[in-house]
């Protein structure tokens, strides 16, 4: 009885303390569509002392006629090889699979899927990253649900057996908060995603990328999780174009041509002042644009909530989503460095 009381007291003391991460591994995602040009990001990664990059290799979608098919959002033919500094980094091949893949697949089809995904990862890695250090980790990204959980978890177990790699997966805040209901993915570690808690087309008065009030609903008490947790923070932004109160398109958020013709109307919202064409999208005078991003202050609040409520291991990876030229346009070098170091204060 005394031993049980001592154990309970020790656990309570551990959860009550403000757990500090002693070793931060700096990381970022590279999630670009279209042409590859890592040269632009080379100096950013070097200046921020980033040691790991999660690279989007391809997506997997489900087609009623063709079944599960890989879709590359990137023009791999435009990619000649990494700049010298990026060759020294740890590259984590990352694959995004739509939830419908697991909703509509049999166990036999998932066996085939796991084999195909493993084959393509090795193929791309050998062709495009042969100069880099061989990967030791693969990451699987999927917004799985209760209905797709069993098939998705089966896929993760198959990938683990086939790859002989460390397997990580992304983890939304809902399954993080309710592991008894949602289950715990059969992986080595999970990447806790602290953004996109709201539907951008349904939450017109809130920032769907990062809303701290919404975040507090999931990070409202100190809790552990059965897996090692890493963290990814949102450092991206976007513009949602509306015409006649109907959503039309997503615009490049840093486009100076867009910003120059916008006037603010209310928080998050702007109005187009004159007709123009941006990347083939026609904007008319009077159109509405919702601009969303995560400010430095919002990210600092997010880090404070995480440190107060999430139990981390001493060694944790902190990643930005994602690495591109806009990273240093939207944030200063000092601000980005502080986002990393704030976790260990």
Q: What is the DSSP string of 284-300?
A: -TT-EEEEEE--HHHHH
What is the pLDDT, as a whole number, of residue 57?
92
Classify residue 164: in a domain, yes or no: yes
The CATH code of the domain that includes 32 is 3.20.20.80
Mean pLDDT of 290-314: 96
pTM over 0.85: yes
Tell me, yes or no, whether 269 and 231 share the same domain. Answer: no
Tell me, yes or no, whether 218 and 149 share the same domain. Answer: yes
Tell me, yes or no, whether 186 and 286 share the same domain. Answer: no
Tell me, yes or no, whether 155 and 256 share the same domain. Answer: no
Which of the listed residues 293, 314, 329 is the one where a domain comes to its end? 293
pLDDT at residue 11 greater than cutoff 60? no
Mean pLDDT of 220-227: 95
Classify residue 178: in a domain, yes or no: yes
Tell me, yes or no, whether 220 and 273 share the same domain. Answer: no
Classify residue 282: in a domain, yes or no: yes
pLDDT at residue 280 greater than cutoff 70? yes
Q: Is 18 exposed, middle or buried (0-12, 13-18, 19+ CB in 10 A)?
A: exposed
Number of domains comprising the chain: 2
pLDDT digits (tens, 9 = 90+) for 162-197: 999 999 999 999 999 999 999 999 999 999 999 999
What is the pLDDT, as a whole number, of residue 15?
44
pLDDT digits (tens, 9 = 90+) for 78-107: 566 656 766 778 999 999 999 999 999 999
pLDDT at residue 4 greater than cutoff 60? no
Tell me, yes or no, whether 52 and 190 share the same domain. Answer: yes
Tell me, yes or no, whether 285 and 320 share the same domain. Answer: no
Classify residue 241: in a domain, yes or no: no
Residues of the domain holding 286: 248-293
pLDDT at residue 16 greater than cutoff 60? no
Tell me, yes or no, whether 254 and 203 share the same domain. Answer: no
What is the pLDDT, as a whole number, of residue 344?
83
What is the pLDDT, as a whole number, of residue 83?
62
Count of helix runs (H) and strand runs (E) in the chain: 13, 18
Classify residue 242: in a domain, yes or no: no
Tell me, yes or no, whether 252 and 172 share the same domain. Answer: no
């Amino acid at each position: 009885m005394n031993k049980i009381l001592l154990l309970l007291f020790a656990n309570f003391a551990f959860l009550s303390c403000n757990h500090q991460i002693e070793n931060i591994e700096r990381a970022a995602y590279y999630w670009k569509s279209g042409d590859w040009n890592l040269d632009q990001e080379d100096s950013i990664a070097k200046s921020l002392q980033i040691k790991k990059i999660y690279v989007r290799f391809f997506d997997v979608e489900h087609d009623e006629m063709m079944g599960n098919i890989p879709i590359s959002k990137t023009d791999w033919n435009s990619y000649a090889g990494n700049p010298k500094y990026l060759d020294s980094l740890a590259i984590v091949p990352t694959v995004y699979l739509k939830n419908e893949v697991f909703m509509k697949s049999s166990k036999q089809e998932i066996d085939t899927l796991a084999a195909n995904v493993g084959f393509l990862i090795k193929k791309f890695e050998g062709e495009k990253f042969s100069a880099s250090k061989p990967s030791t980790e693969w990451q699987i990204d999927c917004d799985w649900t209760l209905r797709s959980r069993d098939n998705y978890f089966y896929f993760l177990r198959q990938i683990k057996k086939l790859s002989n790699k460390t397997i990580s997966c992304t983890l939304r805040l809902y399954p993080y908060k309710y592991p008894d209901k949602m289950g715990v993915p059969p992986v080595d570690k999970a990447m806790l995603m602290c953004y996109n808690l709201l539907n951008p087309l349904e939450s017109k008065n809130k920032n769907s990328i990062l809303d701290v009030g919404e975040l507090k609903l999931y990070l409202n008490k100190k809790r552990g999780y059965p897996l090692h947790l890493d963290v990814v923070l949102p450092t991206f932004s976007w513009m949602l174009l509306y015409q006649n109160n109907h959503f039309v398109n997503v615009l490049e958020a840093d486009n100076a041509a867009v910003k120059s013709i916008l006037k603010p109307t209310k928080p998050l919202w702007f109005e187009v002042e004159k007709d123009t064409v941006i990347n083939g999208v026609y904007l008319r005078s009077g159109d509405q644009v919702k601009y969303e991003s995560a400010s430095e202050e919002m990210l600092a609040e997010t880090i404070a909530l995480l440190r107060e409520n999430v139990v981390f291991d001493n060694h944790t990876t902190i990643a930005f989503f994602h690495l591109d030229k806009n990273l240093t346009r939207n944030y200063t070098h000092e601000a980005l460095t502080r986002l990393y170091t704030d976790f260990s204060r």
